Structure 1
Amino acid sequence: MTKAMHEFATGLTYEDVPEAMRALLRVSFADTMGVAAIGATTDMAEAARKSTVRLFGAGSAGAARMLMDGRVVSPVGAAMAGGFTVDSVDAHDGTTPNKGHVGSAVFPALLAVADAMRAEGRAVTGADFLLWLAIGYEVSTRAGKAQHATCPDYHTSGSWTAVGVAVAVARMLGLDDERVRHAAGIGEYHGPRSQMMRCIDFPTMLRDGVGWGAPSGVTAGYLAMDGFTGAPALTCESEEAAAFWAGLGSEWMTLADTHYKKFPCCRWAHPSMDAAQALMEENGLHHADVERVEIRTFHYATRLAGHRPASIDELAYSIAFPVATMIVRGGFGAREMDAAVLADQDIIRVSEATELIDDAEMTARSVEKRWAAVTIITKDGARYEAEPRSARGDVDAPLSEDEMRDKFHMFADPVLGRARAEKIRALCLRFDALDSKEFAGLLDLVLAAP
């Protein structure tokens, strides 16, 4: 039986959340904190934190610490700074059908409100936090699908995660059904309807909109608590959106749609990167052998040009340069996010010799998955062709536990130190078993400065 969104939000219990969903949220918690650690070192995160301290002082809602920073601001400010921090490194979990990301908004926002609750003396257990996360993830995923189906433009993740965050925060604040509806409507109406392709065509620190989606959702929850009205949220309650809410309460879209990233760049580049790596290794090629590269991929991906990015932001939204980096260095990880990589002449040569081909077949395939086919042509005229492939990390092609662990430590260890990183990961992977004192300790670990 399908539940209404507000009934789902106010009535869900920890016991109602299936173990598969609990397991997903444990993995996402650890994965997101690893990304947050390296994200805290970026210029984008530093700029966001400076403005947050300048503009969002703590008020009567309670003091919340900024993610991986420790300074105290308001819950709205901490949500904004945390959203920008996670979003500054494009390596967090995502939902393929929505062409976007849930955890990069939901985790910073809910951590901010949970920390404010802690500061006010309210006990928060790990099971409480998992319940709120489950609500935020599922509402965001469904609202995003509804928005993509009913809006003509491709909006950022911040636009629809604002709805999920608002509903989850409303539950955290103990609001009734009607005020949950108003929170969703406020979050939807005031959330950033930012155009995603603008940042892909002109990459800057705007990224995926979650730096405003997260605080918009937090603000919506508190506004609804104080009597501000905004219902209905059309992505949740309109007739056009109804199909995307079928099965709410018994079926979990989050489980079917969530993926994880191996590489810290736009996932639209990942199938090409995997294919290029395989071709180089399987054929014993050296980058000096490569004359040119052809990438057949879907239409949106061809707009990720970036043959010679001038910044890490441009690198994040490119295909040619990450593929060239894979060809030259054999991998793409934390070390490849250093600005010095942008001046590597071997990578630049291969990148500028890479052609992106807008392929109708790849576009038709790239609905539930993202597809590409790569050909490497060597200087002696030989052609090495890889079969079309989709990005790894989807539910049916998951990254291994070892890959997820290695990714976390690659990001977190240089920033936090191995000991603190191991504590964070271990606690994240069982966070819903933590009592209020233990969960407060986890908050201390992820919110304190590196």
Structure 2
Amino acid sequence: MSHPTSSKPASLWKHHAFLWFWCSRLASGFGFQMLSVALGWQVYAMTGRAFDLGLIGLAQFIPSLLLALPAGHVADQFRRRQIIVLSRFFELVAIVLLAIGSWLKILDETMLLGLVVWIGVFRAFEFPAMQSIVPSLVPESILPRAMAMNSSAGQMATIIGPALGGFLYIGGADLVYAVSSALYLVALLCMIGVPLSQVIARTPATLKTLFAGIHFIRARPVILGVISLDLFAVLLGGATALLPIFARDILHTGPWGLGLLRAAPAVGALLMSFWLAHRIIQRRVGLIMFASVAGFGIATIVFALSHWLWLSLLSLALLGAFDMISMVIRGALVQLDTPDEMRGRVSAVNSIFINTSNQLGEFESGVLASAFGAVGAAAIGGVGTLLVVAVWMRLFPQLRARERLTQS
């Protein structure tokens, strides 16, 4: 596609902005993954109680759930880059305090969980701003590529970050926190390099403005369909929560095999994100969306029935790849169909769906596994995902018939 000569500098400027953003995303992703490993090891070393490991997840989940709608409103009322910079700064302060407390050996469980809540609060404000800033950094025509590259940063951090954090933990939790702090500082400085481009039209906070994202989504079948499809697909297809059972009892492998199983979905997603970053999905995006979720369900069933490690790894890698396709299409549709002044609140509602599906999906898998066994639970989840695809194709014909990412 050709552009007028006058638009070329702006496009180049926006590409430059996305590069700074991507570097910031990569650094913070690595820092957070390493931080998560250290928190788990340290709290378990302190107490020896598995229950306290769940408290770490709860301490992050509750702020993200309670603050999602206010954070979305803030993302639409203030400059998103500034929100991200401030959030990263206060997260950095908390991680530095974790490093100092560990080094001085004065950090106890209460202090640790309090700092995790602190981090969770600012991550709740960071998330909708991070999601809604991307469309302002690149031309609309290459937004799907930008979202795929954005996702690749997260997948790389997911694959390498925990292993690096575990290796550094040999030197102590304070070392992991120190390195994580350095990465967050890099992320903060890179984010400062992103130019300010958001136009602000502030309105006072009311119940109407806080819930505007929900009303907006309900009035648009394509957005409602794509978000709810992902919610129920992830809710039913949460087989990855059962990986320790599959590794030990079904595939008869050790911790090394469990590590490979955990990494496989992220590897598949990373490879697919690189492919999508170079190829824009041009046509039949609705059908491709449904096909990718169906592929997710089929890969889950294959994993459930597999008794070979190589087949289980392959099915998990395909599961991650299909999930990446649906995630990129979902993200692009939501962002492109939403006006900029609403993107923060819509992204906040989307984050509620994502967090709920991930948390409840693991719970659902556990409940089914206790009743039908791990194989039965995973297989039921995969079949359920296929049924959801069939039902959603009938409930949301507008999404099924969607030809292109852009409506124009």
Q: TM-score by structure 2 length?
A: 0.29
- Ranked by relative contact order (alpha carbons within 8 Å, sequence separation 6 or more), the top structure is 2
Say which structure is richer in helix. Answer: 2
Say which structure is richer in strand. Answer: 1
Q: TM-score by structure 1 length?
A: 0.27
